Amino acid sequence: MQPNEFILPVIVLAAMFCGWRLIRFVRSRSTAAKVAGCVSGVGIIALSGCVLLLYGFAMVKKYRSVLSVSPNGKYIAQVTELDFGPGPFDTQVEIRSRWQVSPDIVLAGHGAPSDIELTWRGNSELAIRYPSGYASDVNPAYPVPCERQFKAVRITCEPATGYMLHPNATATRAQQLRAAIDQRYKELSGAHAIGGNAVQITDVLPKYISEGESYLEALQTLMAAGFSVNRQSPGQDVGQYSIRSTCRGDVNVVLYWHGPTDSSVVQKVDGWIDVTCP
């Protein structure tokens, strides 16, 4: 925990102590005062306990990057991600002055927290580099909104095309998968062979995501290709993204897997594009 994050627990514990002291204080008072004092004291303790419990759960579920401190030590920035279970990331860039209790959120998106870079360019300029998706996306999560100012700090937003900041084998495979799907849609659309029907792309997928492949590797490939992945049921994830064109194309890929997420393999993969024309 950071120093400012001790403030809320300390206040809550102080409130619980005051509730206990209130109960002790009214023991020698009139009956009405005893009842009112005990009810108030128990209520304060119970409410404070609930707040402390919820705060503890929130802290356990939060990913935090290494602190990025301005050269003069006045400002602190950090990448965080709240784990709400299966589904897209919920990543944020937070910034605060050194003893500010609650940080301000200057960037929020659904990319992996490891794909955001923070760089201080002096005491009053913070550069944020992050994946910004593709121009053809129909995705409300992209482009990622980025604030330009925090108090005296100027924020420089540096979006990078795609969904992974640093090229690697997964990113390359994901870009190839994305290009193959978009090309299939473009060819059929150009030949006027869609006609408002679903376009099967299952035959396109095995080159990039295949049966027997690590589930985590397949999941990372989909997310790096721009899919928003959600858990539809145990052992079944659905990835989606939309293609911007005359007719809207909603791309769907379903991963079927079994077992623990960290060691399971893909059992089957299906894909299609739902087409909606005006």
pLDDT recorded at residue 117: 93
- The answer to whether 247 and 140 are in contact (CB under 8 A) is no
Backbone phi and psi for residue 240, each to the nearest 5 degrees, phi listed first: -140, 145
Tokens of 155: 């924020």
CA-closest candidate to residue 19, choices 34, 1, 37 = 37
- The answer to whether 215 and 273 are in contact (CB under 8 A) is no
DSSP string, 16-40: HHHHHHHHHHGGGS-HHHHHHHHHH
Backbone phi and psi for residue 125, each to the nearest 5 degrees, phi listed first: -140, 125
Fold of 169-276: TATA-Binding Protein (3.30.310)
Strand 125-131 with 153-160, pairing? parallel
**Residues with Cβ < 8 Å from 215, sequence gap 6 or more?**
255, 257, 261, 264, 265, 266
CA-closest candidate to residue 222, choices 209, 232, 212, 211 = 209
pLDDT at 82 over 90: no
The residues spanned by each domain of the chain are 3-60, 62-160, 169-276
Residue 216 to residue 235: CA distance in whole angstroms: 12
CA-closest candidate to residue 251, choices 190, 179, 193 = 179
pLDDT recorded at residue 24: 72
pLDDT in tens, 117-176: 999 999 999 999 988 776 555 555 555 678 899 999 999 988 887 777 777 888 889 889
Residue 234 to residue 212: CA distance in whole angstroms: 18
Q: 67-91: buried (b, 16+ CB within 10 Å) or exposed (e) per residue?
A: ebebeeeebbbbbbbeeeeeebbbb
What is the average per-residue pLDDT within 221-228?
85
- Specify the pTM: 0.59
Helix H or strand E encompassing 9: helix 7-25
Q: How many CA atoms lie within 13 A of 204 on its CB side?
A: 21
Residue 86 to residue 84: CA distance in whole angstroms: 7
**Burial environment of residue 274 by CB neighbours within 10 A (0 to 12, 13 to 18, 19 or more):** middle
What is the average per-residue pLDDT within 35-58?
67
Q: How sure is the predictor about 93, in pLDDT bands with cuts at 50, 70 and 90?
A: very high
